[in-house]
Every structure is written in structure tokens, then in C-alpha cells.
Structure 1
Amino acid sequence: MIGVTLSLLLALSPAAVTEIPKNFLFTEREARVPLSPDDAAEQGYKISDRLTAPFELNPCGHRRAVDRGRTAARTISHWTTGPSESAEQLVLYRSPRAAHAALTGLRAEAARCARKGDPSAPALKIQWRTTKVKAGDEAMGMGYRTRQDGNVDQTVTGVVARRGSALIIYRTDEGDYDPGRLTKNARKMAVKVCGLPGVC
């Protein structure tokens, strides 16, 4: 009887999303508009649906994803000659448990790789940090500062939020460390992903 009940529940449960709809991310429509040659020399976007893409906040510098249970992913990165960079990333998982495990793993990596150097630039030191923010079911602010010869060289701010079986990431290198300014989009996306079957 238990086996029959479980089979019925699995049959009635929505299947995990394996494809993110086109133009679902907030920056996506703009990212898909072709740029004039002059504009393309000043800025650009890259859109990737690669399932093995590493997180846009990547304390230990993985070249590919190390989390498990992904079913779909989309990453949009934006650069300008400012220079500046920003990114929006959505990763969907087979279950909320898998998404929670991915967030927990990312938090652990931020602690494990909090202070590291770049072998190609020994004078460059990277310092990661995490802070509390509110978005979705659970979230954290995270980012890093790079220091060279004792001076701050770059500051990167990000926010990671989980809503159901989705993980949402926003990252920017503009301004001081302040994850709170990125939570508005994270909260809006946390609501939007619930429109996808089985996510929430």
C-alpha cells in the first residue's frame, strides 16, 4: 500500500524543469538585442545555457560546476570598458533539497577559500566574505575584495538566493560591498521562478 501511495505521489508531482523559457531572466531581452559596432566596442553580453557552468560567485575558482542535481541553467554576463562586470544566473535543480545543498556548499566554500592568492600574481590577495540578507526561502550576500601591495584593487558584491528548487545569483563589481542593493532583483526573481512548474 505504501509503495502504491508513493507511486501515485510521484506521478502527480510536477516534473523538474529542464528548460528555462527564453527571456525569463531580467537582463535577457536587452542581452539579446544586437549591438551596433560602436556599442559592441564599449560593452557586451554573453548568454550561456551550459549546465556545467560554475557559479558566478565562485570562491574556490572552479572551472565547472561542482554541485549536483542541476536540470537547467542560464547565465548572463555583461561587461563594459569602464571597466565593469555584472552577471545574472539562474540554476534549477531536481528538488529543493538539491538547491539547498548547493547553497550550503557555496557558503562552505566562501569560508574555506576566504583568503587566497593568485599563483600568477603573488602580490594579489583575495578576501571573500558572506553576510545575511533576506530573499526567497534562504539567501546570503557574498563577495570579495582584492588587495595588491596593501591597497584595495577591486570589490565584487553578490547575492545568492534559493526559492524552492531554484538558485538565483546576482553579481556586480561596481561600488562598495553592499549585497542589500542586489536583493530587490533576487526577491523579484524568487517570485517569478514560482511560475515555473515544480519549482515551488
Structure 2
Amino acid sequence: MKKLVALVCAALVAGTAAAAPGIPKGFLLYEKAAAKKDDDPETSWKVSDSLRTPLAVDPCGKGAVGRAGRLAVRTVTFIGVPDFMKVEQVLLYGSRTGAEQAMTQLRGGLATCGTKKDAGSTYRYVSVPVAGLGDDALKVSGQVYYGGKAGVGGDRSVVVRKGNAVLVYLWAGEYAKPVKRDWADQLRDATRMTAKVCAVAACK
């Protein structure tokens, strides 16, 4: 799990820049927390505006999901030692079609790379639609299994499309078998951002 968090973190926080065009500074829910001085050596925040940042939920790990047509991306990442991570990500596309394509590619990745086997373990992704959230939304779980038993190591995310925007709220940490409450915080945050994202996105 530590290796997974380290690899995902390195990809997500690569590069920082000035405020992304179309996304005002401080717009994301966790930017205020990320801006505070943190003297705890076991926690850290990073904010990136790199257009090259992979979609936080990328089952195949190739960074190609939702890459084309981006206008702006902001990613806020929190790391807590030894193996907790949460990610907030807002992506704006040049058109609604671009955002729709990102969701289609995500679903394709979940289908193609939904099961990964490695040294006696299997990392399995499962997704279900979320009704009434944005124009299109998914709950996604990633979980390591040893045989048929869930082990330590997983991630839970909510991905939403609203107009030409895609939002991601991901938590990764020590999980057992996925249960409904695993998504409580991600759904809360995704609902809050979906309600405000039309201030920067083309929702009509």
C-alpha cells in the first residue's frame, strides 16, 4: 500500500504553477487547509496546476484518461504517513464533449484494467453510478485481495461530471472490504463542489 500511495502521489503532485486559467485561487475545498503552515513531519499538502497531472482515478496507470482537451486542472493532495492520502481534483475541458470523453475513458479503464494481479494479490476496481449528482457520477472502489479476502490497501473515490468540468474526490488508506460509509466524506465534498463548480464551468 505504501508503494501505491507513493507512486500515485508522485504523479499527482508533479509540478506547481500559478492559478490555472478559469480556476480562481482558493476555489477548491481544501486549498485553504493546504495553504496553512504544517510543521507535522508526517503530513503534507501539495497544490498543482499542471495540465499533465493524471486523472486521480486512473485504473490502467498510463495517464491517458481525460488527457485531451483540458483547459485547466487543479489538484490538491494530502499525504499522511504511513499510507493515507486524499485528493481533490477539478478539471475543466474546452467543451462538454471533452468532459464526457473523460468519463467514457474512465469507464473504459475500469473495464480493461479492473483486475490487476501481482505477487499473490489482486487489486480489483468496482464502480457504480451515483444518481442525482451532476450530469454523470461514479463511485469507485479499488481494493487489494488475497485470494477472496480483502487485505489492507485500497482507495475510494467519487468522480462527477458537471457540464465541461470533471471533479474527483479520492481517499486512499487502510481499508477492509468496501462498505457504504467509505464514501461518506467523498460524496459530501463532491456534492459541495458540484453545487459551486458552475461558477467556473459551462454547465448549460
State the TM bucket, normalised to the shorter chain. Answer: 0.7 to 0.9
Counterpart residue number, 2:13: none
2:182 is the counterpart of 1:183: no
Structure 1 residue 20: Cα displacement: 1.1
Rg larger in 1 or in 2?
1
Q: Distance in 2 between matches of 1:137 and 1:68?
A: 20
Aligned length: 178
Counterpart residue number, 2:80: 80
Structure 1 residue 139: Cα displacement: 0.3
Note the aligned Cα RMSD (angstroms): 2.1
2:87 is the counterpart of 1:57: no
Q: 1:22 is paired with a residue of what secondary structure?
A: coil
Q: Contact conserved, 2:165 with 2:201, CA < 8 A, in 1?
A: no
Deviation readout 1:6-60 (Å, 9 max, x if unpaired):
xxxxxxxxxxx93311011101111011212xx1x12011111110111111100
Q: Distance in 1 between matches of 2:66 and 2:198?
A: 25
2:34 is the counterpart of 1:31: yes
Deviation readout 1:115-134 (Å, 9 max, x if unpaired):
1134xxx2332111101213
Q: 1:50 is paired with a residue of what secondary structure?
A: coil
Q: Contact conserved, 2:164 with 2:201, CA < 8 A, in 1?
A: no
Residue segments in structure 2 that go unaligned for 5+ positions in a row? 1-19
Query: Scaled by the length of structure 1, what TM-score is found?
Result: 0.80
Counterpart residue number, 1:13: none
Counterpart residue number, 1:94: 94
Deviation readout 1:55-82 (Å, 9 max, x if unpaired):
1111001246553110000111111125
In structure 2, give the amino acid aligned to 1:52. Answer: R
Query: Scaled by the length of structure 2, what TM-score is found?
Result: 0.79
Q: Contact conserved, 2:65 with 2:106, CA < 8 A, in 1?
A: no
Counterpart residue number, 2:6: none
Q: Distance in 2 between matches of 1:155 and 1:84?
A: 10
Residue segments in structure 1 that go unaligned for 5+ positions in a row? 1-16
Deviation readout 1:90-128 (Å, 9 max, x if unpaired):
00001111101101110111011011134xxx2332111
Counterpart residue number, 1:110: 110
Q: Distance in 1 between matches of 2:147 and 2:187?
A: 32
Q: Distance in 2 between matches of 1:109 and 1:102?
A: 10
Cα 1:19–1:196 change in 2 (3 A) is closer
Cα 1:148–1:126 change in 2 (3 A) is same
Taking the TM superposition and a 5 Å limit, the aligned residue runs for 1:117-132 are 117-118=117-118, 122-132=119-129
Deviation readout 1:169-190 (Å, 9 max, x if unpaired):
0001255534641222112111
Q: Which stretch shifts more, 167-176 or 89-98?
A: 167-176
Q: Which stretch shifts more, 188-197 or 176-185?
A: 176-185
Structure 1 residue 141: Cα displacement: 0.7
Cα 1:160–1:66 change in 2 (3 A) is closer
